[in-house]
Structure 1
Amino acid sequence: MSDPLAEAIAMLKLKAVLTKTVTGAGIWRVRRSDEGLSFYCAVLEGACRLEIEGEEPLTLHAGSFVLIPAAYHFALTSLIPPASPRVESTPVEVAERHFRLGDTHAAPEMLALVGHCMSESPDARLLVSLLPEFVFVRDEKRLSLLVGLLKDEAQAQRSGKEFILARIIELLFIEAIRSATTLTTPGLVRGLADPRIAQAIRLIHQDPARRWTVKALASSCALSRSTLFERFTELTGVTPMGYLLSWRMTLAMQLLCQTGATVAEVAERIGYGSASAFSVAFTRYVGVPPGKYGQYRAAVKDGELAESG
């Protein structure tokens, strides 16, 4: 059976770019602007506060885990934050990958493991859009075990370290997302929480090349066409056919970049009757013709696109 959540996270191809421990004492605030990098924070001892733009501040106690799949503007603060939001603290590196915040002479009041990871997927933005905006979980034993493994591996010098870190982070993402009991933002995870909508999503993932219609999906899920359309759209944030198109384009980008498949082969594998019909849809959706997409992604990765203006 297809597992859409695991597939989406695996396709992100996550890579740890930073994992560090942070201790804090006194009054402090550290603000970050990460341009869409994934951010995670596990509070191991004490407590702190998380400020996410557009959300109410969250108090994080020992045992709390926060995941932001695409972080932009957020801040970590002491439980009582500085009086002015403009006040920021400068982290002091006291050992390799270990930082102090606030009063560096006082006994630590908080210990956390924080990290950032990036996606090596050709279309991370689309895949991240399927995930919750942020996830907050408390006192989950399985997550605690994974956090411990992540901390141990990040601080060790072993062969295969980068590979192991990537797999642990993938597991952290999946475990955190499925452990969350309440998700307010529409997306893949809320859709999967509904058995009938989950069935529709799995059918799309299992056979993306099939000529799906709302009626065919509804019939397969024992729902009326209108009920499927309304419930699917409400929970995931996109229409059933919109989701099908997004998933087909995600697969197409992966195939074009990683397998060397021809445009005609990709078109057939994702359900288009001709290469020309696929090319029109792909160009409209992505902004680049499929025949040039591999070169375009290589240029972006190497920085050549920015240099050429």
Structure 2
Amino acid sequence: MTDPLAEVVTLLRPGARFSKLVAGAGHWRVSRPDTGQPFYCVILEGGCRIAIDGRTPVELASGDFVLIPAASSVSMSSLLPPPPGVEVSIPVALGNNEFKIGEPNGPVDYRMMVGHCSFGSPDASLLVSLLPDLVHVRGVARLTTLVQLVREESREQRPAREVVLSRLLEVLLIEALRSTAESTALPGLVHGLSDCRLATAIRRMHEKPTYAWTVTELAKEAALSRSIFFERFSRPVGLPPMEYLITWRMALAKDMLRRSEGRIGEVAQRVGYSSASTFSVAFTRHVGRSPSQYAREEQQADDV
């Protein structure tokens, strides 16, 4: 059976950038622009507050795991933040990729493991739009173990290191996303898959992207009326059904073009378009470049 979540994570091609251990003491606050880079952390001891892109802070406790597929800014602070006007804390390097924030001589009352990864897919922004903005999971020991494995592997120079890291990160992302599927209130593919009726329709789109799906036919797959299906799909997923289908087709097309898997007409047929011209118009509208231009530029970038 087709697994839409696994397909999206695989296409994202996650890779490790770095991870570090951070200890906090007393009052502290750190802030940094992340320019859309995927960020994750696990709270090992104590608690803190995290705010994404200026939104209302979320309190994190020991054992919590957070994944942010993309964000322009992330700020974190002690549970009781510093008083107004106090400068942002500057992490002090302790060696061995460990850092301390807050009071330099104060007793440590907080520890976390932080990591940044990268998405190798040139279509990352499109795929990330199918995921929740923030994944917050509480009390799942498997995630802590996976993060520790990622950190250990990233610090060693063992054979097949990059392959192992990419597989660990794929498992980490899938585990984090499916762990929050039942509870997330944020729109995204995971939220849609938690609804068994919607999951059936989403799987059909992934199984047969070439089929000329309509909202009515997808509603039948979900055993819902057309109007109820449209509303029930659009709210949790964050996209109307046909826009989701087009987004997925474009993600597949970009992957094929980047890998030089067939001519434009062949790619068009493999993602559900009857002609190369119809596909080219749709692709250019969604991507901002024609299929041929996209393929040429991506292949040139890979050669650099």
- Which stretches in structure 2 are left out of the alignment for 5+ residues? none
Alpha-carbon shift at residue 96 of structure 1 (Å): 2.7
Equivalent residue pairs, number: 303
Residue number in structure 2 paired with 1:50? 50
| Per-residue deviation, residues 151-174 of structure 1 (Å, max 9, x unmatched) | 322333322222222221221111
Q: Which residue does the alignment assign to 2:143?
A: 143
SS of residue paired to 2:76: strand
**Aligned residue in 2 for 1:97:** 97
Q: Could you tell me which amino acid in structure 1 is paired with residue 126 of structure 2?
A: L
1:195 has 2:191 as partner:
no
The 1:122–1:226 alpha-carbon spacing in structure 2 relative to 1, beyond 3 Å, is same
Task: Tell me the distance in 2 between the aligned counterparts of 1:61 and 1:126.
Answer: 32
Shift of 1:301: 7.0
Q: Which whole-Å CA distance do the structure 2 matches of 1:151 and 1:104 have between them? A: 25
**236-245 vs 123-132, which moves further:** 236-245
The letter of the residue matching 1:234 is R
Structure 2 counterparts to residues 1-309 of structure 1, below 5 A: 1-84=1-84, 87-180=87-180, 181-298=182-299
How far did 1:219 drift?
1.8
Bigger Cα displacement from structure 2, 75-84 vs 3-12: 75-84
Alignment TM-score, normalising by the size of structure 1: 0.93
Percent sequence identity over matched residues?
A: 48
Aligned partner of residue 66 in structure 1, secondary structure: strand
The separation in 2 between residues aligned to 1:97 and 1:289, in whole angstroms, is 44
- Equivalent residues of 2:69, 2:131 under 8 A apart: yes
Structure 2 match to 1:306: none
What is the CA deviation profile of residues 240-286 of structure 1, one whole-angstrom value per residue up to 9, with x for unaligned ones?
11111111111000000013421011011111111111111111111
Letter aligned with residue 289 of structure 1:
S
Unaligned 5+ segments in structure 1 are 304-309
Secondary structure of the corresponding residue to residue 216 of structure 1: helix
In 2, the alpha carbon distance for the partners of 1:54 and 1:21 equals: 24
CA distance in 1, matches of 2:297, 2:100: 42
Alignment root-mean-square deviation, CA: 1.8
Provide, for residues 156-195 of structure 1, a one-character-per-residue CA deviation record: whole Å limited to 9, x for no partner.
3322222222221221111111112422221111111111
Asked if the contact 2:12–2:124 (Cα under 8 Å) also holds between the matched residues in 1, the reply is yes
Q: Secondary structure of 1:178's match?
A: helix
Matching residue's letter, 2:19: T
Tell which deviates more after alignment, 218-227 or 241-250. Answer: 218-227
Render the CA deviation track for 1:3-56: whole Å, top value 9, x for unaligned.
Answer: 111111111111111111111112211101111000001011222221223432
Equivalents in 2 of 1:301, 1:30: separation in Å?
36
Distance 2:4 2:201 in 1: 11
Report the secondary structure of 2:46's partner residue: strand
SS at match of 2:20: strand
Shift of residue 108, structure 1, vs aligned partner: 1.8
